[in-house]
Amino acid sequence: MGKWSSFFSTDTKSLKSSEIRDLLKLTEGKSVISFAGGLPDPSTFPAEDISRITEDVLRSKASSALQYSATAGVAELRKELVNFSALRGITGIRDDNVFVTVGSQEALFMLFNILVDPGDHVFVERPTYLTALNVLRTRKPIFHGMEVSEKGPNVLQLEEELKKVSKEQGKPKLLYVIPTAQNPAGTTMNLDDRKRVLELATQYDLLVVEDDAYGFLVFEGESPPPLKALDKEGRVIYLGTFSKILSPGLRLGWIVADDEIIKEVELFKQNVDLHTPSLNQYIAAEALKRGIIQNNLPKIRSLYRQKRDYMLASIETHFPSQVKWSKPVGGMFVFSWLPDKIDTTKMLEDSMRRGVAYVPGSSFYYDYGGRNTMRINYSFPRKEEIERGIQILGSLIKEKLQ
């Protein structure tokens, strides 16, 4: 009990620091090979372009860029995002359907607060994005899962679960899903499954929050259209982010949704932070207008493809045959399923002692399952670190299996 803890609200007291996060903090400032983070490779940041744009923006429109701005976002950026969304096949939208947020994290926070009441039936992938899960947990829903294996999400299971819940427990409400280059699994939902998910959403009257954080980072084959591009009813709330395609430090994301939902988000954001930093929005608008982001995408994709190839080749060489792993066609992560006898949370201490960090998979499961799984990041570590780190992990796994 801290000196001030009796003053904390009940909800705040229920926020727990994860034991894994605490453990991973020990790596800070040490020479550990980290497969744990989800950081972009800093060589992808167009620093000189951003510097030039910032100067231009401050010279030509300082009075707006340094001023308060509209809660829904700077008009120039919303307009650019309408055009940019068309690259993902999202057409037929207006500026009013686009809402700018402080990273897609803020979008997740606001949407889950707006949409989820305690006891609501919420469907998520098993595993799914850790921080989305943590926000959802604060809303105290009843979770239901759609299993994701190295082959991708099991949409049939989603269908069965929806049927069961609506028959026995009550109305399903929301699906949170990352169809493309999923975090953490690294898998991508095929087009037929995407169509099926939308049919199920209609049949069970579900709202869908689609997190497309890696949609622009598919480096093998075509990136399948997001659910939003196939959505004819306005049921899909789409989340995009500049974090992986420009810079996460600018903290910029966006929502594409039906006007009615956008209006609620606007009311909510007025209470959170009034608006997303104006200067950053003008920078992003200009980066889109000048084609800097669009032109940089092939470079980022090619770099991550090389790093992915490097990691998969290393895994192939060093992991024992009983281990399974995903073969991502985009994004930043490989997910691995080890034999059940290995608990990756327990193994992390040994691994860190040998100089390698990863995220144990159980953090990505709403029920803390998946104790034999792990997420391995390839976007941030250097190539030689990937090879050495995977070799160390491989020998540790082999020892644990003996």
- Judged by the rule CB under 6 A, the positions of this chain that interact with ligand PMP are 38, 103-105, 129, 178, 183, 211, 213, 241, 243, 248, 253
Cβ contact 276:102 at 8 Å: yes
Report cis status (omega within 30 of 0) of the bond before 172: no
Nearest CB to ligand PMP, comparing residues 130 and 393: 130
- Other beta carbons within 10 angstroms of residue 248's beta carbon come to 18
Which residues on adjacent β-strands are paired with residue 175?
A: 123, 208
Nearest approach, Cβ of 151 to ligand PMP (angstroms)?
20
Q: Which of 294, 290, 237 is nearest to 260 (CA)?
A: 237
179 CB burial (10 A radius; 0-12, 13-18, 19+): buried
Q: Which is nearer to ligand PMP, 276 or 278 (CB)?
A: 276
In the complex, residue closest to ligand PMP by CB: 103
**Nearest CB to ligand PMP, comparing residues 65 and 181:** 181
Cα–Cα distance between 228 and 194 in angstroms, integer? 10
Cα–Cα distance, 359 to 372 (Å, whole number): 11
Nearest CA among 237, 277, 255, 280 for reference residue 50: 280
Question: In this complex, which beta carbon is closest to ligand PMP, that of residue 215 or of residue 389?
Answer: 215
Q: Which is nearer to ligand PMP, 80 or 387 (CB)?
A: 80
Reading the block at residue 380, the tokens are 């941030």
Minimal distance, residue 295 CB to ligand PMP, in Å: 21
Helix axes 103-115, 130-138, angle to 10 degrees: 30
C-beta of residue 217 within 8 angstroms of C-beta of residue 300: yes
- Our CB check for ligand PMP shows the closer of 35 and 129 to be 129
Q: What is the chain's length? A: 402
| In the complex, least distance from residue 109 CB atom to ligand PMP, rounded to whole angstroms | 9
Minimum distance between the CB of residue 10 and ligand PMP, rounded to whole angstroms?
A: 27
Q: Least distance to ligand PMP from the beta carbon of 398, Å?
A: 30
DSSP 64-99: HHTS---TT--HHHHHHHHHHHHTTT--S--GGGEE
Q: How far is the CB of 183 from ligand PMP (least distance, A)?
A: 4
Given the complex with ligand PMP, which of 113 and 391 has the nearer CB atom? 113
Quote the distance between the C-alpha of residue 101 and its chain's center: 15
> Are residues 89 and 247 in contact, defined by beta-carbon separation less than 8 angstroms?
no
Closest CA to 172 of 138, 197, 137, 147: 197
Q: Tell the smallest beta-carbon distance from residue 254 to ligand PMP (Å).
A: 9
Work out the burial of residue 22: count CB atoms within 10 Å of its CB; fewer than 13 is exposed, 13-18 middle, 19 or more buried: exposed
Residue 204 or 214 having the CB closest to ligand PMP: 214
Nearer CB in complex with ligand PMP: 253/389: 253
Least Cβ distance, residue 243 to ligand PMP (angstroms): 3
Beta bridge partners of 33: 356
